[in-house]
């Protein structure tokens, strides 16, 4: 596979075309449900992430927003991979994923990433790392319950 095929492999293209959990969560004002906005000011991509926790686990996770295939696929795969995880597990995976995206050592992606490893092709395209990380930075803000705004800048 060349870099381009690695970047745009079938799994990514599929999630890019048909993003999963691409919807708002109704009635997301109660304590167990938070939302956060994310934006990449340089390219204009923006999204809202909805996070619903129940008994300390990710009960539902969804997003609204549109952007490039990498951005959409990353957000879609994120909603699938974090669902059902405890807050600690989710944060650990989130940290591992974001670390891998910017890892310049050339080492293969850690096994715990599972199919998310498909997204690590962006490492060969430094200008596109922000596309893959935006949704994850935004869910990080949602977990943090802080200013609820994430930015890749």
Nearer to other proteins, 12 or 33 (CB): 12
Per DSSP, what are the bridge partners of residue 35? 50
CA distances from 91 to 12, 124, 142 (A): 23, 25, 11
Q: How many residues does the chain have?
A: 153
Distance (Å, rounded) from C-alpha 22 to C-alpha 80?
Answer: 11
Report in angstroms how near the CB of residue 107 gets to other proteins at its nearest.
23
CB 87 within 8 A of CB 52: no
- Smallest separation, CB 8 to other proteins (Å): 5
- Find the shortest distance in angstroms from Cβ 137 to other proteins: 17
Q: Whose Cβ is closer to other proteins: residue 10's or residue 104's?
A: 10
Q: Are 81 and 93 in contact (CB under 8 A)?
A: yes
Would you say 13 or 92 has its CB closer to other proteins? 13
Interaction site with other proteins (CB under 8 A): 2-4, 7-8, 13, 42-45, 66-71, 125, 127-128, 131
As measured in angstroms, the least distance from the Cβ of 139 to other proteins is 21
First to last CA, the chain: 31
Q: Which is nearer to other proteins, 71 or 97 (CB)?
A: 71
At residue 26, what are phi and psi to the nearest 5 degrees?
-65, 150
């Amino acid at each position: 596979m060349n870099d381009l095929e690695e970047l745009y492999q079938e799994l990514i293209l599929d999630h890019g075309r048909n993003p999963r959990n691409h919807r708002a969560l109704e009635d997301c004002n109660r304590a167990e449900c938070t939302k956060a906005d994310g934006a990449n000011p340089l390219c204009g991509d923006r999204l809202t992430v909805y996070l619903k926790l129940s008994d300390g686990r990710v009960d539902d996770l969804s997003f609204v927003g549109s952007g490039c295939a990498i951005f959409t696929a990353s957000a879609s795969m994120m909603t699938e991979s974090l669902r059902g995880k405890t807050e600690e597990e989710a944060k650990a995976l989130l940290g591992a994923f974001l670390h891998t995206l910017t890892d310049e050592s050339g080492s293969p992606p850690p096994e715990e990433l599972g199919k998310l490893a498909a997204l690590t092709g962006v490492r060969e395209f430094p200008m596109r790392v922000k596309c893959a990380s935006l949704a994850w930075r935004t869910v990080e803000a949602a977990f943090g319950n802080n200013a609820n705004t994430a930015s890749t800048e």
